[in-house]
């Protein structure tokens, strides 16, 4: 038995409660793909808060604390301004709110590209201060040396190729990648380089489907698709997109709910009851005890 933090929904406060810590491990995730075959696809969703982690944990193999929190939580125009401190704070919250899924935290832009030593210092801080199981970084062949440096020093790494959002200023936007023969080959080569460097999994984002399939077949470690192919070894979506919290729906997203509409309806009903003085009612107020 160990201790994790769970929310007491009656008070919305975190309290330590004993819970069996049977998290999935990174080696167990890596072992899902055996001799090129993944019989049980890997399920990954993003999570940024303890309560969100609680709701997703039982259904996921991996929870990704993505730097997409820059747009989703903070309203930034891209993930580029996200800081290491942001990732640490949200990563620690997700770890506290979960006990089953392995938690992976994104390395934000500017915290790992300079050198393997810089990457190790910041990745080690992420692991120490969040309790996460692994980190994720973007880039292919250019980052292979760094991936090898980290994995050889005890830090599991998930790679990320194809459409890499941190490189949006170089790429010129969020368009699908791999439409030219040269770019398609580079994506596959990038995936191979990360696999050879010791990455336990590789995210393949926003590429034309045949390239996602080719990259999946080309490497020994699992691939996680987002805008890739159902033939990838697993899938990831931004939870807020999956739940329908934003008006814009990227092509690769399937909405499994329309929570934005439900929240707006609830807020409108609340507002009307407050203005009509029908809330709070007797059930929500404290009355004097009868003597």
CA pair distance 215, 134, nearest whole angstrom: 22
Residue of 259, 283, 281, 279 lying closest to 269 (CA atoms): 279
What's residue 2's pLDDT?
41
Which string of DSSP letters, residue by residue, matches 209-270? HHHHHHHHHH-SS-EEEESS-TTSSEEEE-HHHHTT-SS---TT---S--HHHHHHHHHHHH
* 208-243 residue pLDDT tens: 999 999 999 999 999 999 999 999 999 999 999 999
In 3-state terms, what secondary structure has residue 159?
A: strand
Contacts of 63 (CB under 8 A, 6+ apart): 44, 45, 46, 47, 53, 56, 57, 94, 98, 101, 102, 103, 104
pLDDT band at 1 (very low <50, low <70, confident <90, very high): very low
What's residue 277's pLDDT?
97
More confident site: 18 or 185? 185
CA pair distance 102, 220, nearest whole angstrom: 20
What's residue 8's pLDDT?
59
**Is 205 in the active site?**
yes
What's residue 6's pLDDT?
55
What's residue 4's pLDDT?
52
* 128-183 residue pLDDT tens: 999 999 999 999 999 999 999 999 999 999 999 998 767 555 555 556 666 788 88
| Mean pLDDT in residue range 116-125 | 98
Task: Indicate the annotated binding residues for 3-methyl-2-oxobutanoate.
Answer: 67-68, 106, 136
The domain ranges of the chain are 35-163+176-260
State yes or no: pLDDT of 33 exceeds 60: yes
pLDDT band at 291 (very low <50, low <70, confident <90, very high): confident
What's residue 250's pLDDT?
84
In 3-state terms, what secondary structure has residue 92?
A: helix
128, 182 in Cβ contact below 8 A?
Answer: no
Catalytic residue, from 205, 240, 262, 283: name it: 205
- DSSP single-letter state for residue 153: T
What's residue 102's pLDDT?
98
State yes or no: pLDDT of 25 exceeds 80: yes
Task: Indicate the annotated binding residues for Mg(2+).
Answer: 67, 106, 138
Q: pTM of the predicted model, to two decimals?
A: 0.90
CA pair distance 110, 257, nearest whole angstrom: 35
Strands (E), 77-231: 102-106, 134-136, 157-162, 201-205, 223-226
The overall average pLDDT reported for the chain is: 91
What's residue 194's pLDDT?
98
| CATH C-level class of 35-163+176-260 | alpha beta
Task: Indicate the annotated binding residues.
Answer: 67-68, 106, 136, 138
Lowest mean pLDDT among 20-29, 227-236, 256-265: 20-29
138, 160 in Cβ contact below 8 A?
Answer: yes
State yes or no: pLDDT of 282 exceeds 60: yes
The CB-side HSE value for 94 (13 A sphere, CA atoms) comes to: 31
């Amino acid at each position: 038995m160990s201790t994790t933090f769970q929310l007491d929904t009656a008070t919305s406060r975190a309290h330590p409660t004993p819970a069996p810590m049977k998290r999935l491990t990174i080696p167990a995730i890596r072992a899902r793909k055996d001799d090129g075959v993944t019989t049980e696809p890997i399920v990954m969703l993003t999570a940024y808060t303890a309560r969100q982690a609680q709701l997703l944990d039982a259904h996921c193999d991996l929870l990704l604390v993505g730097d997409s929190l820059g747009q989703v939580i903070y309203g930034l125009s891209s993930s580029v301004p996200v800081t290491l401190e942001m990732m640490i704070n949200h990563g620690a919250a997700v770890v506290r709110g979960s006990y089953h899924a392995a938690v992976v935290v994104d390395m934000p832009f500017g915290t790992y590209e300079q050198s393997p030593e810089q990457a190790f210092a910041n990745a080690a801080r992420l692991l120490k201060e969040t309790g996460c199981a692994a980190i994720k970084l973007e880039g292919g062949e250019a980052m292979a040396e760094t991936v090898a440096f980290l994995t050889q020093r005890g830090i599991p790494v998930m790679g990320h190729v194809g459409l890499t959002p941190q490189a949006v200023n170089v790429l010129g936007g969020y368009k699908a990648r791999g439409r030219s023969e040269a770019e398609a080959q580079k994506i596959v080569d990038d995936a191979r380089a990360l696999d050879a460097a010791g990455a336990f999994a590789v995210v393949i984002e926003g590429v034309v489907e045949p390239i996602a399939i080719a990259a999946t077949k080309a490497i020994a470690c699992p691939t996680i698709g987002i805008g890739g192919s159902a033939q990838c070894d697993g899938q990831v979506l931004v939870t807020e997109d999956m739940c329908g919290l934003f008006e814009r729906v990227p092509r690769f997203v399937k909405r499994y709910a329309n929570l934005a509409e439900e929240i707006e309806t609830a807020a409108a009903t609340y507002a009307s009851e407050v203005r009509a003085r029908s809330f709070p009612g007797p059930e929500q107020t404290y009355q004097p005890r009868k003597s």
